[in-house]
A and B are shown apart, each in its own frame.
Chain A
Amino acid sequence: MTVTGLSCKECGTEYPLEALYVCDRCFGPLEVGYDHAGIDAGSARRRIQAGSSGIWRYADFLPFASPPTSAIEPGLTPLVRADRLAEQLGVGEVWIKNDAANPTHSFKDRVVAVALAKALELGFDTVACASTGNLANAVAAHAAAAGIDSYVFVPANLEEQKLLATGVYGTTLVGVEGNYDDVNRLCTELAAERGWAFVNVNVRPYYAEGSKTLAYETVEQLGWRLPDRVVCPIASGSLFTKIGRGFEEWRSLGLVAGGLPIFHGAQAAGCGPVAAAFADGDDVCRPVRPDTIAKSLAIGDPADGPYALDLARTSGGSIDAVSDDEIRAGIRLLAETTGIFTETAGGVTAATLAKLADRGEIGADDSVVVYITGEGLKTLDAVREGFAMHEIEPTLESFAAHVPERGAVAAPALTRMI
């Protein structure tokens, strides 16, 4: 597949493959275009299967003229069949796409690998980003591995784990007094002033393409078939819509057959502008001020909100919002039934799956892929004070005396909440 140029998603105006992201004519977002002609599904599949063990196996579908490389290659994360979870929820076939298994433990490694490779190709020597945390980790790590400078802008009140797991890579970490939308506004202004590649601002059209690899992997790991439904978190809406685009591309090229999946979006109630617009029948999102434990989804003014709404509606899906308590329960549900410990964003997604199952929206024969985008160790506060630890002397007697048989209740004085 040949990458042809950028075009405006709103008015269709075309632009060259440069560090551009906004249409000069109508301010709409730019998207990468490809020439699909001449693609043979059989040979495309063989090229993929002979490719690398990460996202570059899909290079034919990414915005590069020649095969990209990177110091860190994300992708090919596990797609785990979750029968215990499916049984508990009373639904058919549930698959967990565990994208916490990426190099910096979130799906952001995919988009950053693509953005960084493109930034280097375009001649940039510095990368930057506005981040809710996971992107910060990925930009700092990939820049370090590539040996280029990076600037990472985050809300100053971010989880400590995400700050530490950014600073360790030796980036210039900037904590901004304000929420993510304030950080994003600042970075939009800075991108015009500095000659840096802001991965999610001026090279965003390329960056966003990286999320398509989640769709490609899903199809390949399911044995070249499409799921019936997907459940995916929505922050800006970019991941959600690009997974849709990935499925559509492969379907139109004949790499996979069947109907497109039904798309279910997941947001936190404390920051659910897309869910609110869906519920109200609006085609644009009214911005909100985030107040949720799901900080990685705390974007009050989602750039791709209108497109996420389109996809949920045209596919016959939905967009739900779940409370902080439901998020905590979602984290526990996933951990206790699959052995996967996810961060708050994954709690939002798991809780939304549970909600859909509860409403009877998922049929007994449906296959559902659930996108778990990040790692539980990054948001430990979400599970703090949730469990009891038995504290004993190092003797058999103390164990027998103080640790109850399974199902019995321990004396409260002998346990400590952690």
Chain B
Amino acid sequence: MAVKVKIPAQLRPATGGEGEIEVEAETVGGALDAVFAKHDGLRERITEDGDLRRFVNVYVSGEDIRFQDGLETAVEDGAEVTILPAVAGG
């Protein structure tokens, strides 16, 4: 599946300034791995021991993946995977 991964401003220094990265993947975890393969510096910033860090939220087409299957959440062709900081609001 062709998936678009949206990178928040705070992480763009690690992607050479890129805000959207197109990858091929079947799941959210696969999409993130594909992004890490292109920009290895991102991995340690948003993951720890293979899981997302606790202040990182990931959405598939606007839906928090914790309401779905987490990193195993399937992605459809053309889906948008958005990474965002979790520390806003309240």
Interface residues of A (CB under 8 A from B): 10, 21-29, 130, 180-182, 184-185, 187-189, 191-192, 198, 200-201, 204, 235-239, 284, 286-287, 289, 299, 301-304, 306
Contacts and interface: CB of A to CB of B under 8 A. Distances in A.
B1 interface: no
A200 B11 CA distance: 20
A22 B87 contact: yes
Contacts of A239: 90
30 contacts: A21-B85, A22-B85, A24-B13, A25-B45, A26-B55, A27-B10, A27-B46, A27-B87, A28-B55, A28-B87, A29-B87, A180-B89, A184-B88, A184-B89, A185-B64, A189-B84, A191-B88, A192-B8, A192-B9, A200-B89, A284-B54, A287-B64, A299-B89, A301-B86, A302-B90, A303-B55, A303-B86, A303-B88, A304-B90, A306-B54
Interface residues of B, number: 25
A189 B82 contact: yes
Given A22-B10, A192-B9, A301-B64, A27 B90 contact: no
Given A27-B55, A188-B84, A303 B90 contact: yes
- Majority SS of interface residues in chain A? loop
Given A184-B89, A201-B88, 10 more contacts: A21-B87, A26-B55, A27-B53, A185-B64, A188-B88, A189-B82, A192-B9, A286-B66, A287-B64, A301-B89
A287 B90 contact: no
A235 B88 CA distance: 12
B8 A200 contact: no
B9 A29 contact: no
B53 A130 contact: no
Contacts of A192: 8-9
**Which 4 pairs show the lowest CB-CB distances between chains A and B?**
A236-B90, A29-B87, A184-B89, A22-B85
Contacts, number: 91
Interface in B25-77: 45-46, 53-57, 59, 62, 64, 66-67
Contact of A130 (B9, B11, B84, B89): B89
A306 B54 CA distance: 9
A306 B62 CA distance: 24
A235 B90 contact: yes
Contact of A238 (B9, B67, B82, B90): B90
Contacts of A201: 88-89
Contacts of A191: 88
B66 A287 contact: yes
Contacts of A238: 90
Contacts of A204: 87-88
Contacts of B66: 286-287
Nearest to A238: B90
A10 B90 contact: no
A182 B56 CA distance: 15
A188 B85 contact: yes
Contacts of A182: 62
A316 B50 CA distance: 33
Contacts of A188: 84-85, 88-89
Nearest to A22: B85
A185 B62 contact: yes
Contacts of B11: 24
Nearest to B59: A185
B9 A27 contact: no
A266 B28 CA distance: 35
A306 B53 CA distance: 12
A25 B67 CA distance: 26
Contacts of B67: 287, 289
B84 A24 contact: no
A24 B85 CA distance: 10
